[in-house]
Amino acid sequence: MEIGNALLDFGALGIFCAFLVWQHLAMQRRLDRMAEEWRESLMNVETAHAAAEETIRQRYDLILARYEATRENIYKDVVETLNANKVSLADAGQKLEDVRQEVRMMRLETKKGDSVNL
């Protein structure tokens, strides 16, 4: 109790000094509590932000996968269409060549028939 007696020896100033020490300690505890609450709040915000970011990433990955699948399907359809067109053109070219050959044969037969009739 030496400190208490020393403060009481100074009268009102000693009591005021004790009050200031008590107030400082109380304010320090309050500030420590507020700092801890702020840290917890900050951690909660960071956790919520990380969860929201992960949700956005998952949604982006899903959209990207759907885009890739759509692009692959379109590419596959284009390739199939081109292959079908290639086959159709080859068939049409062959038919055209067959028709030309028939026309040549008909012309030859017609010329032979004209030669015989003369």
Number of structural domains found in the chain: 1
- pLDDT, residue 40, reads 97
Residue range(s) defining the domain that contains residue 41 = 2-117
Q: Give the whole-angstrom CA distance, residue 83 versus residue 75.
A: 12
Q: How do the pLDDT tens digits run along the chain, 118 residues long? A: 687 777 778 788 888 888 899 999 999 999 999 999 999 999 999 999 999 999 999 999 999 999 999 999 999 999 999 999 999 999 999 999 999 999 999 988 887 766 665 5
Q: Give the whole-angstrom CA distance, residue 94 versus residue 106.
A: 18
Crossing angle between the packed helical segments 12-117 and 2-9, to the nearest 10 degrees: 110
